[in-house]
Structure 1
Amino acid sequence: MPLRFATYNVHACVGADRACDPARIAAVLAEIDADVVGLQEVSARGDTRGDQFAYLERATGMTAVAGPNIVRPEARFGNVLLTRRPLLDARLVDLSVDPYEPRGAVVADIDADRGRRVRVVVTHLGLRVWERARQHARLGEIIAARGEVPVVILGDFNSWWPDIKVLRHLGPRLAWRKTPASFPAHLPVLALDRIRAVPDTVVGRVRTHGSRLARQASDHLPVVADIMLRRGDAASEEEIAPSSPARARMIRR
């Protein structure tokens, strides 16, 4: 059966009306009805906006893996993986390039269907061409280390001309398909948000979710893809070793 994946830069849940409304983001996620979601720019502060990491896990009923890139006493800010499928393992990878804003990735294995392992990477890359080039190289290393396990990368790549060819250097290991424009949400012209599968198991088109609510909820539109696991694309049931409950709790914190 196909799995639905989505990537969504939620802009700290601040919408076009400048209101911070995590419930609106949760409603957009309900419209999409994805099995696995990668979120970027999720915030947790000690003010009335509260902890968006925890709120979105509760509101969606999905398992969350928090990957904050910025951690301060007064706030956390970064990526989140949400999954309806069982979480097997997860780790955080540092993609920071000094002296710029900290960047990172959530790398998690999920049980896609009766013992079929899939690795999911959720990330948000930097604003500068050479910064992204180093981050692309690190993503290439993660892909190369996958063995026989398929990988799906969900993220805000921040990639547009002139460095689109730099993104292509990931080559045949990372499926290259036409990605729809997702930014800005009210009139998308830039394809910043991308979904890539290794091997190329994407079926149907990669598309934006452009509902009226989605155009109001954030400055990015979600990007959605349905991915079919073919025979031999995933690790066998015998290879799966679920992480301990203690490990899952540590990651969610």
Structure 2
Amino acid sequence: MFRVASYNIRRGLGTDLRRNLHRNLAVLKEIDADVVAVQEADPVLGELFEHLPASAVAAESDYTPVTLGTARGDISWHGNVVLVRRTATILDVHRIALPSFEEQRGAAVVDLALGGRRLRVVAMHLGLLGRWRARQALALLERVETFATHLPTVMLGDLNEWHGGGACLAHFGRKHHVASPGRSFPSRLPLFALDKIVINPELRLVDAGVHDSALARKASDHLPVWASLSLAAPAAATP
């Protein structure tokens, strides 16, 4: 079993209107996930990892940021950052540009080996307009289906979907299980379940929830969401 998490950090700007990325890393330490999809991480999170000494990064987290951007060492793709345990092995990375109206949107796909298991992680942040969210979901699903290698897949992030019957959720739900861990926005008084975790049939949802701590309520306007996953049992052969 392994744990994934999604966290919109609002570029480190907390509900106290102070920017402090160290708090976001401390929240991730509370969650203790194996893989984290971070949204709204550009450009401040990149600066955090660039300017903090390696000893401080080691002291504050157990993660390695995956290089996602087109420039060498760039860990952000349209604000998405993927953090993985240092014990994980990165096998492949794909960048997906998504159609958008209000601002550039994208998704990052990371294939990795974790604890002897191969896993595909898709980190995403969809738009504010429902019609465009639907287009983005379709574009993402169509692109992932073109990959030559098929892997157990978890897609997670801030979907910005306010309505449980939204078209983007319907698109994801055709071939995947969409988990809504709970209300995660706004963090001080959570009313909306904007952050989702989507898994394909090769994975099984064991548990999921919203990480609601005093620090998380202060560190960002979103609370992180998490899920514990395991590989689904293979289907029994037909006699």
Which bracket does the TM-score occupy, shorter chain normalised? 0.7 to 0.9
Within 5 A, what are the aligned runs for 1:181-200? 181-199=183-201
**Where do 1:147-226 residues align within 5 Å?**
148-161=150-163, 164-199=166-201, 201-226=203-228
Specify which of 90, 93, 96 is matched with residue 93 of structure 1: 96
The 3 A distance-change label for structure 1 pair 66 and 19 is farther
Q: Match of 1:43, SS?
A: coil
Identify unmatched segments of 5+ residues in structure 2: 71-75
- Alpha-carbon distance, 1:142 to partner: 3.6
SS at match of 1:170: helix
Deviation at 1:136, TM superposition (A): 0.7
Q: How many Å separate the matches in 2 of 1:121 and 1:229?
A: 17
Note if 1:132 corresponds to 2:133: yes
CA gap of 1:44–1:52, structure 2 versus 1, over 3 A, is farther
Deviation at 1:141, TM superposition (A): 1.3
Across the aligned residues of Structure 1 and Structure 2, the Cα RMSD in angstroms comes to 2.7
Quick check: 1:52 aligned with 2:48?
A: yes
In 2: Cα distance, 1:103 partner to 1:188 partner: 25
How many Å separate the matches in 2 of 1:67 and 1:55? 18
Distance (whole Å) between structure 1 residues aligned to residue 51 and residue 135 of structure 2: 33
SS in 1 for 2:18: coil
Question: TM-score, structure 1 length as denominator?
Answer: 0.78
Deviation at 1:60, TM superposition (A): 1.9
How far did 1:232 drift? 5.3
Q: C-alpha distance in 1, partners of 2:164/2:82?
A: 29
Kept after mapping to 2: 8 A contact 1:53/1:66: no
Contact 1:174 1:200 in 2 (8 A): no
Q: Give the 3 Å change call, closer, same or farther, for CA 230–55 of structure 1 in structure 2.
A: farther
Q: Deviations over 1:75-124 (max 9, x none)?
A: 99611000112111112111142x4200111101010232x321100010
Separation in 1 of the partners of 2:188 and 2:28? 18
Structure 1: distance between partners of 2:48 and 2:138: 30
Structure 1, 196-205 or 152-161: larger mean CA deviation: 196-205
Query: Number of matched residues?
Result: 222
Contact 1:110 1:117 (8 Å CA) reproduced: yes
Q: Which runs of 5+ in 1 are unaligned?
A: 70-74, 234-253
Q: Partner of 1:140: helix, strand, or coil?
A: helix
Q: How do 1:101-120 residues align onto structure 2 when only pairs under 5 Å count? A: 101-114=103-116, 116-120=117-121
Q: TM-score, normalised by structure 2?
A: 0.83
* Distance in 2 separating the partners of 1:106 and 1:26: 20
- 1:160 aligned partner, one-letter code: W
C-alpha contact 1:22 1:55 (8 A) present in aligned 2:
no
